[in-house]
Each structure stands twice: as structure tokens, then as C-alpha cells.
């Protein structure tokens, strides 16, 4: 069923509303609850939906996620705006005069500083850290700037119209895009939806910014949106504000025709010139779209009335919106921020801390158990210091204090683990706390932690630069060249933007070149080549003059120096002295060689005599050793002969003893045989006779 605004809207307003309204509902369905939760954690707000269970009473919101967001944003801002010259413009290779971009860079930095572009970029980075996506809009604003008039007799002040190019940060909650698009240029369009006071719209109608026939009526809105954020001061409930939808995208060409006659009154009319220039600009967008759709910027009030409509008037036909993701989500427009990374850890930490606070209330505040039958009726059972409680009978029987145990001490350790988990998930490590726990972490582990943090920051910084800074600077410079041609007379529209990542790489290269300076002589061509490279990579004042000076010194060092008569004379004198010295050295060398020959001859003679004496001594020693060995051999022979004689005598003695033993054994054998026979003869019949074994001699055993 169509809404009341949809019924009132007609024509182009209805065509745009039929697209932005479903996109806004899809965005709220997919992201609103999570974005509101991230925002509340960042601000420290609590609402009824944040209760994790029915028994929870505490409303404490831990600041860990907010600290992680602030830490990551501070790191990116420090890397982006660490220098006053936080962007650089590099001319394309095919340009014959690449020095023309230098003056434009200085003017551009000055204008961006006056327009507070750095503040807008910082807010967009903060939005990307909270919601996951940073969005910036380039606005062309005509302002009256005071100027001192020195043409008259007395100096005075005049006001002149100046086009100021500004960057406006857009919250993702106020931006819609086609859900199926992953890039701004792929979508049929996008819209910035916001609310402004009614008098702002009336003032824009009176100064010609909006069409005079713009319909105005109060746009009622409830406080549901602000209540979900935990804050009520944004709109203050019901108000008289107007809803503004600023569309950047394609619109039907036939619907745009009725607004063609109003282009003369647009804020770009005096800059765009005749209609031919405008048609040429729009012609470049037809390839992008189709014959029935053209690129346009449309402002709608309260979803019903078109307040301003103009075909894309810009030089390059580009859209005035840039967007970047804090952390890349593949094939999605909406990115992933610090709030999403630390959401689960934050909720676990909230549950842990709130449960501890609730348990601490029970164990801290005094409670009493009272027998209702022993107290007077109507008595309030509150407990406070100095209060008298009336009872019927013994108070010890009617009253009993209730004491709950204190919270579990392990919750401290669990809370710390959840904090570390949140830091690991977001990459925003708290270095002071890490240093406090240095006794538990080795130097290598600490280095890995810091290295991981730096890598994450560089990855996010690359997303900010590629998706945000580079296209933002390009579009703003194109707007300045178009709307401020006197200040930006550049005709070469091809250039590159080098942001923080390029500046960091440039500083690293500059450090390497400074280190190389100590390895080359001061007047060599390599020295001035390095100096020229250092000047080109620096942001110091008078850089161009220093580069020219280095180039002249480089050319001088490459040319041979002119001959000097005094130097030539001194050179000849030096050569004569060197030749004289060389001759003297040759004579001394020859004398030394002759002396060396004599010394060698004497050494050979001495060596021969020494060898003869050595041989004689060796011969005498050999003779003495031979005589000693002969004596030892003779003594050993005598000892062996004596031992042999002794062994022969012993052998004969052994043989005699053996013969005597054989005779004794034979005698004993015969005597035992005789005794056995006599014993058997004297024994009665039938008596067992024991026959003693016969002792045999060795000869008998062998047989």
C-alpha cells in the first residue's frame, strides 16, 4: 500500500522516491540494529534493548570498544596528517613540463586547509571505524569573501563571489545506495538523506538556490530513531524540520526536460556558460548510461517536491560522492569496521561486568529477613543507620540479617581475557597494558604484536587512500579547475594523487638515499644525483630552487675540469721528483740484492759444516747404541740358557716321581685283590660279596 508521501509525489520526485524508499528499508533491515549498537558502545549509552537477561540491573557500558575505535582512528589520522603536506600531486609521464603541477599543489593545500577538508576526512574515518564505511560528498558552495579594495582614494572592503570546494562527511545512516551495487559508479544512483530546519530551506528558496515553487510543509517524524541511539537531543522529539533527499545518479531524460528552463537560475549558470558547454559535458556521461537516462543531481524536499534539478554540470561528468571501507568485505558496498570486529567480545565483557556489579550489590547492601507475624502492621521494612524497628517479642527471633557471598574472584581474570580478545579482534592493542605484562611476554612476542598492529593499520590506511583520499582529491581539483579557473589555470588534467601510503614509502626511500650519501665523495656525480632525489621527495620550502641547484651541480660534476698552469707545473715537478726517487730506490734495491746473494753463500757454507758435525755426532750415537744393544742381547741369551738348564733338571725330577707313583699304585692293587679274595672265602653262603674295583694303572686304562 502506497504511503501518503508516495501519493503526493509526482513526476521525477516520485521516480526517485520509489527507489530510495525500498533501498532505505533494506538498509535499515540489514544494518540498522547493528549500527545502533556499535554507536551506543562508542558513546557509552544504554537502552532497554541492551539487557542481556531479565535479572540484569546494571547499566554499565565498558569503554573497551570505544577505546579500540579511538585508537585505530588516531593511528590512521596520525599516518595521514602527520605532515602539513599530506597529499602530493604527480604529473603524468607524457607531460612535457612536469613542474607545472608543483604550484597547483601548494595552492590546493592552502584552499583545502581553509575549507577544513582535513576535519571532514577525519570524521569520515571515524564513521568508517564505527559503521564500517566512510562516505564523503564534494560540495561546490558559492560564498562572499571580503577583499580589501585598494583602487580608490581610501582603502575599503568589497565582497566578491568565490566558489569554495568543500568535503562533507556523510553518516552511513543518512546514505542509501542500490543494494546490488558494490561500487558507487555501478549503482543507478545514490542519495544523501538528511533533515534540516524549515528556515534553512526557506532561506535557500529566497537566495535562489532552490526553486521558488518548492512546496514546504512540516515533515513529522518520531523519536524512535534517536531512542535507538540512546540519545534524545538530536531532534528533540517532534519538530518542524524538512527531509532533504539529494540524489546523485541517473534519471529519465524526458522527466528532466521540464526543469531545463530553470538551469539559468542554478548556482552553476555563470560558470557553465552557454548551453553548448553544458551539452558537451553531459555528452561524456551518455556512454556510461543509456539514451533514456542521464546523470543528474536532484534535491527533493519531503519526498514530494523537487527543489533543484540539474544535469551533471561537472567537467569530468563524475559523481560528487566517494566512499571507502574501513575493512574490505568482498563484493559489498558496506564495509566492516572496528565496531563489528569487537562486537561479540564487547557483549561478553558487558555481561561479565554487569553480572559482577549485580552480585556486588547483593553482597554490599544490607538486607534483613523479618517475621511478618512479629512486626506491627504497616511497618516499612527498610534498613538504615539509626532506625528503630518495632517487633512483637524478642527481636532476635523476628529479625535476621541476610548475607550473600561476594562475587567470584575469577571474574577479574575472565574480564581481562575478554579485553585481550577484543584487542585481538580489532587490532587496537593497548601498548601500555602490554608493557605492564611484559614479564609474561618475550621480546619476540612483543615484536610480533606490534608488527601485526602496524600491518593492520597499513591495510586500513591503504583502503582509506585508494577509496577515499585519491578520488576525493581528484574530484576536488577538477572542481577547482572548473569553477576557479583564475586560481587554477592548469590545462593538463591527467595527474596522480599520492597520499599517506605514498608519503610513507617516499620517506623510506629518502632515508635510504641519505644513508647512501656517506658512501660517495662530496663532489662526485653520484652525490648530486642523490641530493636531487632527496629534494624531489621532500616537502621543504624552496624545493624547486634546490632541485635546480642540484641539477646544475650535477652537470658541473660530470664535466672535466679546465687545466690550470700552476697545477700543471707542480705536476711536472712532482713527476721529476718521483722519477729521481724511483732511480734512488732502484740503486738501493740492487745493493740489497747483491748483499742478499753474499749472505746466502755464507749461509750455504755454514750449513755444510753444520751438516758434517751433525752426521759425526749421529754416527757416534749409533755406535754407542749398537754396543749397548749387543750387551743386552748377550745378557738375555745367558739368562735364557740358565733357565733352560733349570727346566731340564725339573723335568727329570718329575719323571722320577711319576715312576715311583706307578710302582706304589701297582702294589696297592695287588694287596687289595688278595684281601678281597680272603674276605669272600670267609663269608657265609648267600651273603652278598662286595667286589672292590680294581685299581688300574695308566697303561691298563690306555689298553
Secondary structure (DSSP) of 201-222: HHHHHHTTSS-TT---------
286: helix, strand or coil: helix
Above 90 in pLDDT, residue 659?
no
Question: What is the rounded average pLDDT of the residues 14-33?
Answer: 93
pLDDT at 101: 72
| Distance in angstroms (rounded) separating the CA atoms of residues 216 and 206 | 13
Task: Give which of 570, 499, 647 is closest to 125, Cα–Cα.
Answer: 499
Above 80 in pLDDT, residue 386?
no
| Distance in angstroms (rounded) separating the CA atoms of residues 110 and 122 | 18
Residue of 495 and 311 predicted with greater confidence: 311
Phi-psi region of 428 (alpha: psi -120 to 50; beta: other; left: phi over 0): beta
When mean pLDDT is compared over 70-84, 105-119, 633-647, the highest value belongs to 105-119
Q: What is the DSSP letter of 561?
A: P
Question: What is the rounded average pLDDT of the residues 232-259?
Answer: 75
| Distance in angstroms (rounded) separating the CA atoms of residues 281 and 275 | 10
- The contacts of residue 539 (CB under 8 Å, 6+ apart) are 83, 84, 85
Question: What is the rounded average pLDDT of the residues 209-221?
Answer: 72
Beta carbons of 322 and 135 less than 8 angstroms apart? yes
Question: What is the rounded average pLDDT of the residues 647-658?
Answer: 76
| Distance in angstroms (rounded) separating the CA atoms of residues 55 and 52 | 9
Beta carbons of 274 and 327 less than 8 angstroms apart? no
* Main-chain phi, psi angles of 379, to 5 degrees: -75, 130
H or E element that contains 402: strand 399-402
Above 60 in pLDDT, residue 697?
no
pLDDT digits (tens, 9 = 90+) for 271-326: 443 333 333 333 333 343 445 889 999 999 988 888 888 888 888 889 999 999 99
Q: State the sign of the Cα–Cα–Cα–Cα dihedral 69, 70, 75, 81.
A: positive
Q: What is the DSSP letter of 30?
A: I
| Distance in angstroms (rounded) separating the CA atoms of residues 266 and 308 | 8
pLDDT at 462: 83
In our burial notation (b when 16+ CB lie closer than 10 A, e otherwise), range 84-123 reads eebbbbebeeeeeeeeebeebbeebbebbeebebeebbbb
pLDDT at 177: 95
Task: Give which of 47, 39, 62 is closest to 411, Cα–Cα.
Answer: 62
pLDDT category of residue 688 using cuts at 50, 70 and 90: very low
Above 60 in pLDDT, residue 679?
no
pLDDT category of residue 692 using cuts at 50, 70 and 90: very low
pLDDT digits (tens, 9 = 90+) for 133-154: 999 999 998 888 787 777 766 6
Above 50 in pLDDT, residue 479?
yes
H or E element that contains 252: strand 242-252
When mean pLDDT is compared over 214-223, 622-631, 666-675, the highest value belongs to 622-631
Q: Answer yes or no: pTM beyond 0.85.
A: no
If one counts every other C-beta atom within 10 angstroms of the C-beta of residue 362, the result is 14
Task: Give which of 655, 669, 657 is closest to 700, Cα–Cα.
Answer: 669
Question: What is the rounded average pLDDT of the residues 554-576?
Answer: 75
pLDDT at 443: 43
Amino acid at each position: 500500500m502506497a504511503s501518503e508521501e508516495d501519493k503526493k509525489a509526482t513526476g521525477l520526485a516520485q521516480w526517485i522516491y520509489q527507489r530510495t524508499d525500498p533501498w532505505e528499508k533494506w538498509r535499515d533491515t540489514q544494518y540498522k540494529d547493528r549500527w545502533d549498537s556499535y554507536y551506543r558502545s562508542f558513546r557509552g549509552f544504554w537502552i532497554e534493548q541492551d539487557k542481556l537477561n531479565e535479572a540484569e540491573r546494571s547499566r554499565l557500558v565498558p569503554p573497551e570498544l570505544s577505546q579500540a575505535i579511538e585508537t585505530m582512528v588516531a593511528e590512521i589520522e596520525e599516518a595521514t596528517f602527520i605532515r602539513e603536506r599530506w597529499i602530493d600531486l604527480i604529473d603524468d609521464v607524457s607531460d612535457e613540463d612536469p613542474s607545472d603541477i608543483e604550484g597547483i599543489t601548494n595552492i590546493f593545500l592552502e584552499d583545502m586547509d581553509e575549507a577544513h577538508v582535513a576535519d571532514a576526512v577525519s570524521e569520515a574515518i571515524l564513521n568508517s571505524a564505527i559503521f564500517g564505511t566512510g562516505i564523503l560528498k564534494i560540495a561546490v558552495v558559492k560564498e562572499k569573501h571580503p577583499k580589501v579594495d585598494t583602487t580608490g582614494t581610501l582603502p575599503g572592503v568589497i565582497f566578491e563571489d568565490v566558489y569554495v570546494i568543500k568535503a562533507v562527511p556523510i553518516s552511513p545512516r543518512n546514505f542509501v545506495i542500490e543494494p546490488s551495487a558494490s561500487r558507487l559508479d555501478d549503482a543507478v544512483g545514490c542519495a544523501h538523506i538528511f533533515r534540516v530546519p524549515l528556515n534553512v530551506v526557506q532561506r535557500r528558496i529566497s537566495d535562489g538556490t532552490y526553486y521558488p515553487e518548492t512546496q514546504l510543509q512540516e515533515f513529522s517524524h518520531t523519536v524512535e530513531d534517536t531512542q535507538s541511539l540512546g540519545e534524545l537531543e538530536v531532534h528533540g522529539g517532534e519538530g518542524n524540520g524538512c527531509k532533504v533527499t539529494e540524489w546523485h545518479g541517473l534519471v529519465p531524460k524526458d522527466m528532466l526536460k521540464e526543469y531545463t528552463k530553470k538551469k539559468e537560475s542554478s548556482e552553476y549558470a555563470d560558470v557553465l556558460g552557454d548551453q553548448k558547454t553544458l551539452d558537451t559535458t553531459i555528452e561524456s556521461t551518455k556512454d556510461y548510461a543509456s539514451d533514456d537516462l542521464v546523470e543528474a543531481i536532484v534535491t527533493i524536499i519531503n519526498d514530494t517536491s523537487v527543489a533543484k534539478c540539474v544535469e551533471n554540470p561537472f567537467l569530468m561528468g563524475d559523481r560528487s560522492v566517494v566512499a571507502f571501507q574501513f575493512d574490505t568485505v568482498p563484493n559489498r558496498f558496506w564495509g566492516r569496521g572496528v565496531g563489528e570486529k569487537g562486537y561479540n567480545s564487547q557483549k561478553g565483557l558487558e555481561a561479565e561486568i554487569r553480572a559482577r556489579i549485580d552480585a556486588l550489590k547483593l553482597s554490599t547492601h544490607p538486607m534483613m529477613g523479618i517475621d511478618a507475624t512479629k512486626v506491627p502492621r504497616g511497618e516499612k521494612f527498610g534498613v538504615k543507620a539509626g532506625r528503630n524497628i518495632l517487633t512483637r517479642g524478642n527481636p532476635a527471633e523476628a529479625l535476621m540479617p541476610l548475607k550473600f557471598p561476594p562475587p567470584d574472584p575469577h571474574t577479574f581474570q575472565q574480564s581481562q581475557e575478554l579485553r585481550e580478545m577484543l584487542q585481538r579482534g580489532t587490532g587496537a592493542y593497548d601498548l601500555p597494558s602490554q608493557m605492564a605484562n611484559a614479564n609474561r611476554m618475550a621480546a619476540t612476542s612483543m615484536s610480533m604484536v606490534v608488527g601485526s598492529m602496524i600491518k593492520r593499520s597499513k591495510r586500513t590506511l591503504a583502503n582509506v587512500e585508494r577509496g577515499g583520499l585519491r578520488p576525493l582529491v581528484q574530484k576536488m581539483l577538477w572542481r577547482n579547475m572548473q569553477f576557479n579557473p583564475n586560481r587554477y589555470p592548469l590545462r593538463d588534467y591527467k595527474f596522480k594523487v599520492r597520499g599517506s601510503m605514498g608519503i610513507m614509502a617516499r620517506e623510506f626511500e629518502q632515508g635510504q638515499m641519505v644513508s647512501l650519501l656517506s658512501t660517495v665523495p662530496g663532489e662526485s656525480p653520484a652525490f648530486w644525483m642523490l641530493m636531487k632525489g632527496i629534494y624531489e621527495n621532500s616537502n621543504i620550502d624552496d624545493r624547486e630552487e634546490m632541485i635546480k641547484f642540484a641539477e646544475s651541480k650535477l652537470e658541473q660534476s660530470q664535466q672535466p675540469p679546465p687545466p690550470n698552469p700552476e697545477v700543471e707545473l707542480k705536476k711536472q715537478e712532482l713527476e721529476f721528483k718521483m722519477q729521481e726517487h724511483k732511480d734512488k730506490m732502484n740503486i738501493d734495491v740492487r745493493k740489497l740484492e747483491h748483499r742478499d746473494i753474499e749472505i746466502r753463500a755464507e749461509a750455504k757454507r755454514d750449513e755444510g759444516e753444520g751438516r758434517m758435525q751433525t752426521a759425526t755426532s749421529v754416527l757416534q750415537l749409533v755406535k754407542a747404541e749398537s754396543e749397548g744393544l749387543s750387551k743386552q742381547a748377550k745378557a738375555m741369551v745367558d739368562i735364557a740358557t740358565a733357565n733352560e738348564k733349570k727346566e731340564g733338571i725339573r723335568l727329570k725330577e718329575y719323571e722320577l716321581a711319576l715312576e715311583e707313583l706307578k710302582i706304589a699304585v701297582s702294589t696297592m692293587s695287588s694287596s687289595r685283590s688278595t684281601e678281597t679274595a680272603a674276605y669272600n672265602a670267609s663269608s657265609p653262603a648267600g651273603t652278598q660279596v662286595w667286589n672292590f674295583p680294581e685299581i688300574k694303572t695308566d697303561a691298563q686304562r690306555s689298553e
